[in-house]
Structure 1
């Protein structure tokens, strides 16, 4: 009999999540039935979207999230022992899944592709959902052209750091916005961003105008709020904006959302195209993004960084650290 650990939602978050909002419990898993397989978590992901989706969850349910897991027992030919799978198993140590359940697009369960000598954990980052978020969300919506100026907010995160590099691959000038000078050094010196702006320092508008004297053509928005209002104010005619997230407001409820400068005037007179997206829109092209990002890594054109927290019992700590900007690149938990 296998004992599984899982984090269940005990009470809904109010502001920054508290450890008492989740409860770590154990359960005994039953024996496998035909067509089922047992997987054991190896790496788990923590991502900003989890905070945004939390209000939709029912109390008592397993907290959401993707993981890479190793199949340790199986009565399924499709999912044999010792294979690794990636999917939306949530914050749990062991999971029994049936072949029928694995077909559910919401679970997004796949056999992990062969990454060669690269770490398995990249299946939660550059070679997984964040990588495809950057690949499709930037290229399909912004449609960058060589020589254009691209601004990325949340630039040192799992998605933003990849968007900026893809923009450089496409021949663009790239400006990254983040809240820490050390992150800025990494963006410019390691990843090849042309400029970095620390939004915590005064006069973001002035600094952006210096970095982009000819205006901004494409904006990949991970944060929302006043940062995004400032960028929109300096965009060129027919600029394109890809809205990936709004982390500045994730810890607020509807009555306390951050106030920001009105943007409709900029949108109208600059004739901007603004489009939000959820990456599963490109589910039928999923491997296209992974294969291309893998190729760029092998060619030395795409670099990645992971912030790894050890221990399943430290899931919550890793989650809150990520929400407060403590990670560089992708935040993962190694079991």
Structure 2
């Protein structure tokens, strides 16, 4: 189902354009051949030109920031919603029916509204919409994403964690009851708002775990694993860490093999699942994925290693948290929703060093 013909640009609005994900969306969509950006919102920056908020975008012809209430929806076909968690449900519920949406917040990622209320501290405010939302892990849910009106863009930690795990669970190669995820993120994952925990002196020259046994991405990861394993009672050990770098994410995952399974079988499963994929790559045996090798790109690099403990394996995956973990995957989903080549606007070579 395409929003526009091959000769007509899709008119796009970015809600919450003054944040990091908004900046990434503008960077990508400015070079997308099928997009015209018609509206950018930023409630506190309304009335300002984009150059005042993001000087690196000053050379480009972009509309000034405005309030959501002032957007002309007759000039919008598609919305990327980068608003804070908890504020998005009512906004999207109020959009005109002709507008399709990719939501980068967590507001529509959890299928069970009771689970959402438990983890986010308030009742879901758009239950009817939640029932129609599609969880947009692009490589896994292409068919559903293609026809959806509302796509919930996955979180960064779930994307990095689920991509290596889903094929292995689906193929019955690893135990669903013994999964440990040790994940690390750059500071941009905390957003652009001023917070004490994001200050330079709080994060530089050190690292720390946070959200220990309580991070909101845990139920999102468990939801995806449950889909792959065909059961709803999966629980994982998941601990995120903040690393003093701007962008990047690594998930190191420890799994137990099923009887008779070896690491070569895991590699075969991953290579088969992602053969021909533009953005997910299984590295050669023994090569460790590094965050610096995906910076600025929509790539996900994965590898699998034999643990020194018999019957166990270690999965390592890396993404750029602002790209495949947020805005890059959102543009990938946009392309799928509109019947475009998935690489449009995303054929960006990683920045190195």
TM-score by length of 1: 0.31
More strand by share: 1
Which TM-score applies when normalising by structure 2? 0.30
